[in-house]
Amino acid sequence: MFRAMKKVVVVTGASSGIGLALCERLLSEDDGLHLCLACRNLGKAEAARVALLSSHPRAEITLLQIDVSNLQSVFQASRELKQRFEHLDYLYVNAGIMPNPQLNLKALFSGLFSRKVFHMFSTAEGLLTQDDRVTTDGLQEVFETNVFGHFILIRELEPLLCHPDIPSQVIWTSSSNAKKSNFSLDDFQHAKGHEPYSSSKYATDLLSLALNRNFNQQGLYSSVVCPGTVLTNLTYGILPPFIWTLLTPLIFLLRFFVNSLTTTPYNGAEALLWLFRQKPEFLNPLTKYHSATTGLGSNYVSPQKMDLDEETAEKFYQNLLDLERRFGAIRARSLDSPSQK
């Protein structure tokens, strides 16, 4: 087991995109920390580890296999972390999916020639719908991947995160696309809707607020971040390559007017890194921290108040606790299975 001699940071979805850029920036900030890459694909995770070590050869980087869309995997990974560590300083819950995104071309082109063009590129509001599916756990895939799998991970890691004398931070990669209008307590998995990604990100904002209410006194603090509009594998899948080629000059021009167009994973990780430097007890739980980039390429953090209320957040949290009880058998089986090597 690793002793709490150095900061321990776990990042889910660390093998590419914003997660990998965050890891690079964290090591540039403090290469004395212990960085754990928690990824579904260990091959990609090992490639990321090699790349990080090439620029930070003294860094201590370990791997953990976890698929947050599969609860048995989450329970097994949680057990492994509890065997390795006594305390976690930072848990970046970054892994997420936007499956089969479909672009509303009519909304795109009408928005391009309207006064809403800046808002459209800032939030993608009304532009994207997704086809969701059900996982082997019987849950909506976007909800389980983006919200519930991470919720279970946090619940299982409470012994490592809850130390009143040593604060821990849980930091969520949320989105400006987290819209209250797309979320319902009566359908919090968004099984009946067509914007599960937006719903899931609003759900993470609610959950973060509830975690602060329930765990701040135990030393666990939660924050949410919007990385801005970043061109990653997730966003490149929305449009054919030739469309991106046509849009790229426009995107860089719009950066002079829309600072949420961070475009690169490095820029998108700005707010995630900024939170690494903060004392969590002084952060506002109703604030979302947005990565922003000026037209000339300078990065900064823009705090913005979220459209949340504590009553809804607490009700959602209790709904998740009720849902958690359904999976006690899976948890029990994971405790009986061999641990990762």
Residues with catalytic annotation?
A: 197
Strand partners, 65: 39
Cβ–Cβ under 8 Å, residues 282 and 232: no
DSSP 8-state secondary structure symbol assigned to residue 162 = -
- What does the alpha-carbon distance between residue 128 and residue 36 come to, in Å, rounded to a whole number? 33
Tokens representing 224? 């949410």
Query: From CA 283, how far away is CA 128, in angstroms rounded?
Result: 32
Among 26, 144, 74, residue whose Cα is nearest residue 36: 26
Nearby residues of 118 by Cβ (< 8 Å), 6 or more positions away: 254, 257, 258
Instruction: Report yes or no: 226 and 289 within 8 Å, Cβ to Cβ.
Output: yes
The H-or-E segment that residue 149 falls in is helix 149-156
Within its chain, how far is the Cα of 158 from the centroid? 18
Pairing of strands 60-65, 128-130: unpaired
Q: Which helix (H) or strand (E) holds 81?
A: helix 71-84
CB 281 within 8 A of CB 251: no
